[in-house]
Each structure stands twice: as C-alpha cells, then as structure tokens.
C-alpha cells in the first residue's frame, strides 16, 4: 500500500467531494444569496473570504477566529501555566527563601521600634514595597523565553492574548500571596508596627498590590522589548517610578 494509492482512494471518497464542495465559492444551491445582502445576513451558512462554509465543522474551523471558547481557552491556559510554575522548583523555592531571609534581616535591623520612631516605620514600609517590587525582576527572563512561543500560538489562533494574560495573572496570585505573607508577617511583627489586626492585613494588602502590579508590568516590558537586555534597562526606571 503506497502513499499514491492512499491519496487516490481519498480523492474518490465522499469526504473529499464534500470538502471540495465546501471550498468552492458560491456552492449553496438555489437558496444562496450575495454576501452582504439582507437575505444572507443571519443565515446559517456563513461566508469566510468569499468561500461558502456549509458544514458545522467548516464553520467552527474556519468561520471563527478561535476554535475554542474563551472559557475553554482559560481552562487550558491555566492548566499549562500552573504546570510551568509548579515544576520550576528553583524559581519558586528561591522566592520563598528570599522572603524568609530578607524578612528576618530587615526585621532584626529595625527590631521593636517605639512610637516616637514614626519616620523609621514609614521607611520600613517603603523599603518593603520596593523590595517586593524588585523581587519580581525574575519575571523578565521567564517572559522573554516564552514570548516567541506565545506570539506564534496567538498568531495561529490557538488562544487570544487576553486569555493568556488573564491565565498568567491568576496563576501568579498564589505565589505572590505566599511570598508577601511570609515577608510581610515577619517584617510587621519583628519591627513592632501597630498591634492591630486590621492594620496588619492592610499592610499585607498594600504589599500584595504592589508586588502583583510590578509582576504584570515587568512581563509587559519583557514582551514589548526586543531582547532581555533592553527589557532590563527599562524595568529599573519603571520600578523606581
């Protein structure tokens, strides 16, 4: 059985004739209408580039920008992004270890500040926000490494850019929550900030929002910049602003 024999058998099949009819312009029978006329608008047979799409498969495959719905895109992208994040144990472990180490070091330098040390407390809060902002610098090489794949898949219609951005942001949420929870908790209670649960959670919320925003910004810079060197050059001033 040769390739030529298989091709000849396929060309004689009903499936080949059906596909040929679907790809021929104007194949619709007596009820066809000119594209753009009132009779053709809202009809079941959609037109794509002047080609009549008669079957449900053809309409799904060629009549829409994406073959899957937005919910299905999100499900698949969340699964993929979660696997990519979890299996990178070096990245996840280093972020958590860094939070524990820096929380203990900075907390010990400003241990048990008094009520009169208001300026130092403001400085500690500012330093905490800056530290968490720059700790997301590690997102740049990851995004630079993946962006060519993402560009190719979005151009091929695998998924939309919006779905990919949402999936990455959602998967990043728990990692940032863990990092901020460890660092913020150690720093808050060792430094001796206000002994109030509401203020404690507000402090964590402020750090969480800052870290999440900088993570998204660094990824955007990595996708816009032509290479990693230029992305790193622009990331520093952006974080300072």
Mean pLDDT of 90-97: 89
Question: What's the predicted TM-score (pTM) here?
Answer: 0.68
**Tens digits of per-residue pLDDT, 100-121?**
999 999 998 888 888 788 888 8
Report the pLDDT value the prediction gives residue 57, as an integer from 0 to 100: 66
**Tens digits of per-residue pLDDT, 198-219?**
999 999 999 999 999 999 999 9
Give the percent of the chain with pLDDT over 90. Answer: 31
Q: Give the DSSP per-residue string, the chain.
A: --HHHHHHHHHTSHHHHHHHHHHSTT-SGGG---TTSTTTTT-SSEEETTEEE-SHHHHHHHSSS-SS-HHHHHHHHHHHHHHHHHH-HHHHHHHHHHHHHHHHHHHHHTTT--TT-HHHHHHHHHHHHHHHHHHGGGHHHHHHHHHHHHHHHHHTTSS-HHHHHHHHHHHHHHHHHHHHHHHHHHHHHHHT----HHHHHHHHHHHHHHHHHHHHHHHHHHHHSSSHHHHHHHHHHHHH-
Report the pLDDT value the prediction gives residue 32, as an integer from 0 to 100: 43
């Amino acid at each position: 059985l040769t390739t030529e024999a298989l091709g000849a058998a396929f060309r004689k099949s009903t499936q080949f004739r059906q596909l040929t009819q679907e790809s021929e312009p104007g194949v619709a029978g007596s009820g066809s209408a000119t594209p753009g006329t009132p009779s053709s608008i809202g009809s079941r047979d959609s037109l794509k580039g002047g080609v009549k799409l008669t079957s449900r498969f053809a309409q799904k495959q060629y009549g829409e920008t994406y073959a899957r719905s937005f919910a299905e895109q999100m499900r698949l992208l969340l699964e993929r992004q979660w696997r990519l994040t979890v299996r990178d144990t070096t990245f996840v472990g280093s972020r958590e270890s860094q939070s524990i180490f820096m929380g203990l070091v900075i907390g010990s330098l400003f241990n048990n500040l008094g009520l009169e040390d208001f300026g130092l407390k403001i400085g500690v809060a500012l330093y905490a926000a800056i530290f968490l902002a720059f700790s997301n610098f590690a997102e740049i090489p990851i995004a630079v490494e993946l962006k060519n794949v993402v560009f190719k898949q979005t151009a091929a219609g695998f998924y939309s850019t919006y779905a990919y951005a949402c999936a990455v942001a959602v998967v990043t949420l728990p990692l940032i929550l863990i990092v901020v929870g460890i660092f913020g908790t150690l720093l808050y209670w060792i430094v001796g900030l206000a002994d109030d649960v509401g203020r404690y959670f507000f402090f964590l919320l402020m750090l969480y929002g800052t870290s999440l925003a900088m993570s998204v910004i660094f990824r955007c810079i990595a996708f816009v910049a032509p290479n990693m060197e230029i992305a790193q050059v622009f990331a520093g001033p952006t974080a300072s602003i």
